[in-house]
Structure formats: structure tokens, C-alpha cells
Amino acid sequence: MNRSVTRAVLISAALVVILALAACGPTSSPAAQTAPAAPEPIPILAVSELTVGPNRLAFGVLQGGTPINDPDLRLGLRFVYIDGPDKTRVQSESTAVYRGEGLPFGLYVGYATFDQPGAWGVEISVPRAGGEPVVTGMRLDVRERPSAPPVGAPALPSRNLTMADVPELSRLTSDASPDPDFYRLTIADALTAGKPFVVTFSTPGYCQTAVCAPNMLVLKRLKAQYQAQVNFIHVEVYPYPFGESFQAQRQVPQMKEWGLRTEPWTFLVDAEGVIQARYEGGITFAELEPALAQLAAGQPITPPVQ
């Protein structure tokens, strides 16, 4: 990452730290005469940028300083355009569902399409057992030109290092159990191969958000299922030696080429070289497998009905 640490990294790292502290805390406390009221859940946006067009919105939810990790929780989302003449008119609605399988904290993902840049707002409804839902408002800044390539943009023909350049995998990736198939092609090669592909930018050994290694497990599982139809590429965020580069915050040039200010990022690119989906932060098999099925079949990737 660069020196300007973005909100998404801070949020994800904070969730990990809070979760770890909660796990290490005392397991019992003196009996109290009256049970304190449960603290209200607080949703936190865990993506660094939103853009005109389709967007994936990931949220963490804190309660009493601890991340909620409830697979049954669903967040209601209602979007308004604050910069418009009617700031209260609901433009669209969505639902954020649990996408935390295998991740170190609960993640809730919904989808929205913004038709113009500027200030938007989202009303987030968090259900509570035995009570009224907690409703929170949040401002969203939607950019006309994002830093990272958006859905519908052409993938950049980057020439990342492969095994043809560095045969020793331990110098190509910080992944403790690397799959050689992720290091055979450059992105430029994949664009001329006539097949759709997945490219992920991550650093499993030095991840600031603690989701890079779980993400790689998901992608390896997907590769085993779709490798005949889809190519898979992993670009390590830091050049070898990884530890020294991490300390110096020296990244591979492809991070700058793609405008990536956080990690990890995963892009699904069709056989024509057009980005069909992008995912910032943690991913799960349940979320990506339907998208990979569409990508492999040459179909447009549509957000799941939630």
C-alpha cells in the first residue's frame, strides 16, 4: 500500500484487531444485578471507492466494539441522491447478505448502481432480535472516474512476473502454498489467449486486511473447477524480498498501473478483455462461484438476487 492508507484498509485491519482482542478477552465476569442493554450495531463501509455504474458494497458490523459474524443477518439498504433536488427520494433498494465464510470477520455484501457522481446516502437497517431494527444513515461519495478500473473498462495489458522470469515460486509470491498455475501468464498474455481470466492482486504473507490468504484458498478452489475455461493469475503486491519491500512500502509496478491503493483486489475479465466484475477486499466461494460460472459461459455477470 502507499503512504496514504485508505479507509478500507483501516476498517478491515481494525476489524481484525478488534476480533482478536475480543477472542483473547476474559470469558467470564462477576454477576451483575441487572444486565446492561445490548449496544447498538454500527455498520462500517469496507470499500475504498464507489463509482458511477454497478458497485459492490461490503460492510462490517460492530456491536460493542466486536465484529458481528452472523450468517443469518441481512442488512436492508435504501439509496438516495443527496446532490439531487429531492434528497429523500429513494433511488434504489438492496440487501447486503453474509459473505464471511472463511474470513476473519463477518462481511455483508450488497450491490447498487449509481447513475451519476456526487454525494449519495444509504440508509442501513440492521435487524435486532426482539426489537425494532437499528437504522443508520451513511454518506457515500461516488466518483465519475475511479482509481481502479471499473466494470466495463478494458483490462490493462500489464506484464507481471511469471515463472518464465523467476522459476522459483518462493520469489514470485508470499503465498505459503503457491499453485504454479497462477504464475504462468502475464495479464498481457491472458488478454491474447482468447479465454476469460481472473486476476487477483494480493499479498498472502503481508496482507494488511488479513483476507489475502483466505481469498487465495477461494481462488484455488475455483481454479480446480473452472481451469479448462478460465485462466487464473496472481500478482504479488510486493517485489521480492517481500519483507523488505513491505517495510519500505515498495510495490510492484502493476499496482500503480491498475490504480490500486488497497489490497486485495480481484477482477473477472471476459474473453474480449473487458472487466465484468471487480471485488475489493474479502471474497468467498459462495459469492464468486456463480460469477465464474457466468464468466466461463461467456455470459454477462449479473449480481446475485439477494
For the chain, the structural domain boundaries read 7-21+36-143, 169-296
Torsion of CA 61, 48, 100, 197, to 10 degrees: 170
pTM over 0.95: no
User: What would the pLDDT profile of 165-217 be if each residue is shown by its tens digit?
Assistant: 999 999 999 999 999 999 999 999 999 999 999 999 999 999 999 999 999 99
Q: Which residues, 6+ apart, have CB-to-CB distance to 293 below 8 Å? A: 226
Amino acid identity for residue 227 in this structure: Q
169-296 shares the fold of 7-21+36-143: no
In three-state secondary structure terms, 86 is coil
The strand pair at 118-128 and 75-81 is best described as: antiparallel
pLDDT at residue number 35: 55
CATH (one of 3.60.70.12, 2.60.40.1930, 3.40.50.300, 3.40.50.1820) for 7-21+36-143: 2.60.40.1930
Query: What are the DSSP E strand ranges found in 144-250?
Result: 197-202, 231-236
The C-alpha cell at 191 is 488478454
Residue with cell 459492490: 56
pLDDT at residue number 34: 55
Q: Which residues, 6+ apart, have CB-to-CB distance to 144 below 8 Å? A: 51, 52, 117
pLDDT < 70 stretches in the chain: 1-37
pLDDT at residue number 295: 99
Q: Give the class (CATH, top level) of 169-296.
A: alpha beta
- 200-236: burial string, b at 16+ Cβ within 10 Å, e else: bbbbbbbbbbbbbbbbbebbbebbeebeeebbbbbbb
